[in-house]
Amino acid sequence: MKKFYIYTLGCKVNSCDSNKIASILASFGFIISNPEKADIVIVNSCAVTSESVRKTRQNINKFKKINKNCFLILTGCAVILDQFLNNENIDLICDKKNLIDKIKEKFGIFEQNTEINFINNNERTRAFIKIEDGCENFCSYCIIPFARGKIKSKNLCEIDFECKKLFEYGFKEFVLTGINLGKYGQDLNLNLIDAIKIARKYCKRIRLSSLEPDVLNKKFIDNLCVFDEICPSFHLSLQSGSDRILKLMNRKYNINFYLKLVNYIKNKFENATFSTDIIIGYPGETDKDFEDTLNIIKNIGFIKVNLFPFSPRPLTKAYNLKQIDSKLKKYRVKEAIEFSELISKKVISSFIGKSFEVLFENKEKNNIFSGYSRNYIKIKYKSDENLCGEIKKVIFLPDFK
């Protein structure tokens, strides 16, 4: 039997893509292995930052060093980068659209592809379901529109099939994900609400992955809040707290719009929480721009902020812009991380003493189980019974934060 190993970098969409590849290979009779013994090693790459590209290159070289006879494939967003074309450790550079056909051709496989996407979700608690790919926003710093292309939505029949299978496998929570999730369906004359209506037939808890603020409006939120299955945790990508920088980034909203959006969601969803992505050190960022970003972190009260130092990406408009001082950028990132973590602790502490439904995922020592509330607060609870995979209403206690 042929063996395979997949190494995944980057976002949850990439993870979903890797799961799908793994499912199809398993349907062909391939078995999952470690990189030392695999006949095929697939590096599912990320190109969002220079650091992710460095990790891609590093792991390609490592895998080939420990298994020189493997057939090493580079796929994912980094396939558009010229720097990998002459890497002697790569046997095939291929986008995901053609990957399976290339593998079938290489290994003489004639079976039809399998479209199920759950092979690596062993916890049987939360399943990520990719329903959309591609982005057409062309933010000035982002390589993703070049790597992923135009918006492509999964049809409702495919979503129904996958949700039904995941339900049968015992998953209690679905996370609908995509590169620009809020634009789901625009190529099919559908919208995200249509996909949610399918998912809710099979699951009591539904989360939405990262959403772009500009695609949200009162009508959408009004339609969303009628579904009891929707978890009130919202990841709204911000990128900067400065209107000036947002305009330079070619973002489609301003801070006033973002604040009104958050407040409207808070009014519609009890105990709503928010997380976001922020880029620090965009070319031209001043002390005031940075302070504006810290202020918005405080004003919103994010429970999680993914902070990234600006990384110039080829093909983007910001690639050749003059960089701010690297030491200053590093200092601002450190300060922003510490500040956002402090704010997060305060916000999470404000929920202590409240009752939450928790989907327990892991057992820790001393019969303590951990899981997440609907608004994505990690809660620990001591119990003599096995709570893994169970939903239980508990009080959020400070001793188990």
Q: Which helix (H) or strand (E) holds 382?
A: strand 378-382
Residue 328, domain member (yes or no): no
DSSP state, residue 27: H
- Any domain includes 82: yes
Q: What is the DSSP letter of 367?
A: G
Task: Work out the mean pLDDT of the chain and round it to a whole number.
Answer: 94
| Residue 288 contacts residue 245 (beta carbons within 8 Å) | no
From CA 32, how far away is CA 200, in angstroms rounded? 32
Closest listed residue to residue 78, CA positions, set 61, 96, 103, 53: 53
Say if residues 125 and 171 touch (Cβ distance below 8 Å). yes
Range of the domain at 386: 355-400
Query: b or e along 251-289 (b: 16 or more beta carbons within 10 Å of the residue's beta carbon)?
Result: bebebeebeebbeebbeebeebbbbbebbbbbbebeeeb
CATH number of the domain residue 96 falls in = 3.40.50.12160
Residues 17 and 103 placed together within one structural domain of the fold: yes
One domain for residues 125 and 101? no
Assess contact for 310 and 325: CB atoms under 8 A: no
- CA 121, distance to chain mean position in Å, is 15
| Residues 143-183: tens digit of each pLDDT | 999 999 999 999 999 999 999 999 998 899 999 999 999 99
Torsion of CA 67, 75, 276, 379, to 10 degrees: -50
- On whether both 171 and 78 belong to a single domain, the answer is no
- How many domains are there within the chain? 3
* pTM of the full structure: 0.92
Q: Which residues pair with 394 in a beta bridge?
A: 356
- E strands present in 18-69: 31-32, 40-45
For 305, the enclosing helix (H) or strand (E) is strand 304-309
| Side-chain-side CA neighbours of residue 3 (13 Å) | 12
Q: Percent of the chain at pLDDT above 70?
A: 96
pLDDT at 245: 98
Below-50 pLDDT ranges, the chain: 120, 122, 401
The reply to whether 145 falls in a domain is yes
- Residue 293 in domain: no
- Residue 205's SS3 state is strand
Kindly give, in sequence order, each residue whose CB lies less than 8 Å from that of residue 86, ignoring residues fewer than 6 positions away. none
pLDDT digits (tens, 9 = 90+) for 296-341: 999 999 999 999 999 999 999 999 999 999 999 999 999 999 999 9
Residue 400: per-residue pLDDT: 55
